[in-house]
Homo-oligomer: A and B are copies of this chain.
Amino acid sequence: MGERVGFIGLGNMGAPIAANLIASGCDVSVYNRTASKADPLVEKGASRAGRPRDALVRGGVVFTMLAGDGAVEEIVSGEGFLDALGPGGVHVSMSTISPALARRLAAQHAQSGSAYVAAPVFGRPDAAAARKLWICVSGPAAAKERVRPLLTFLGQGLFEFGEEPAAAHVVKVAGNFLIAAAMEAMAEAFALSEKNGVAPERAADFFSQTIFACPIYKNYGGTIVARRFTPAGFRLPLGLKDVELALAASDETRVPMPVASLLRDRLLTALARGRQDLDWSALAIGAREDAGLS
């Protein structure tokens, strides 16, 4: 597609997405705090930026895919970022961040003449590599129009949530909450099954082929039943971070979320027991342990 784009954040998710942008024909300039993570992309044709601002072209497009509120805020408020992006620039923000931060960032971008487009994604690293992401997008219409071909290339579906910059982030946060809730419910149902003489594999198969025949129940159901929590596709502390984002938004807007509260407690227990390197689906261990299953 020939556009020059910057890409900041080359972790599990950012790296394959940046690679796909290169594959799409874009001229990609990449930045990562740990510089060595840029090497494989430079080999694929990316140019290496020494500072975040060096990845930007005035009036151009920059993607960020970072660990959370702190990292995104640090980059955007870092020296020269908004100036380098300049009037006409578009920041495609793919990280999972709080709606509150998104609102603040959108205002800052508007003030400097650039546009903040929220574009968080659903899918794990393998889906990112295979361009099978589901992408939620919200922000100014013209800016979204401009980056639509890129986003369309990166995923298997693009979903519009209007001009409110925080909207797509709200959906992302709500979605990760729904995933964690489904995992907890399965964990309880499987523990009940097992202690009542039904093999959890059988129950998981049945549900994921019938009334819950969808990716989350299939994939996480299988993971939970097999207790295959490593290697971590999405580490447990990140899962807690996302549930905390849901709770923070729920606080701000006065929305009691008892299931989210319960998930927070489950994830805290998992961390208190030393599971910080496991996949977040390891929250499911809690229901087993409470039931006395080893």
Q: Are B161 and A174 in contact (CB under 8 A)?
A: no
Chain B's closest residue to A240 (CB) is: B251
Contact with B along A158-189 (1 / 0, CB 8 A): 01010010110011011101110110111011
B214 and A192 within 8 A (CB): no
| A214 cross-chain contacts in B, Cβ below 8 A | 211-214, 217
B residues near A159, Cβ cutoff 8 Å: 202, 206, 210
Q: Considering the chains assembled together, what is the distance between the CA atoms of A281 and B49 in angstroms?
A: 53
Q: CB < 8 Å: which of B136, B211, B257, B273 contacts A134?
A: B211
Are A181's CB and B192's CB within 8 A? Answer: no
Question: Interface size bucket, A side?
Answer: 35 or more
Judging by beta carbons under 8 Å apart, are B195 and A260 in contact?
Answer: no
A291 contacts across to B, CB distance below 8 A: 253-256, 268-269, 272
Given the known interface contacts A188-B260, A198-B170, the answer about A136 and B269 at a Cβ–Cβ threshold of 8 Å is no
Q: How far is the CA of A85 from the CA of B211 in the complex (A)?
A: 34
Asked, given contacts A99-B196, A195-B254, whether A182 binds B185 with beta carbons under 8 Å apart, the answer is yes
By a beta-carbon cutoff of 8 Å, the part of chain A in contact with chain B is 99, 122, 134, 136, 157, 159, 161, 164, 166-167, 170-171, 173-175, 177-179, 181-182, 184-186, 188-193, 195-198, 202-203, 206-207, 209-217, 244, 246, 249-251, 253-262, 264-266, 268-269, 271-274, 287, 290-292
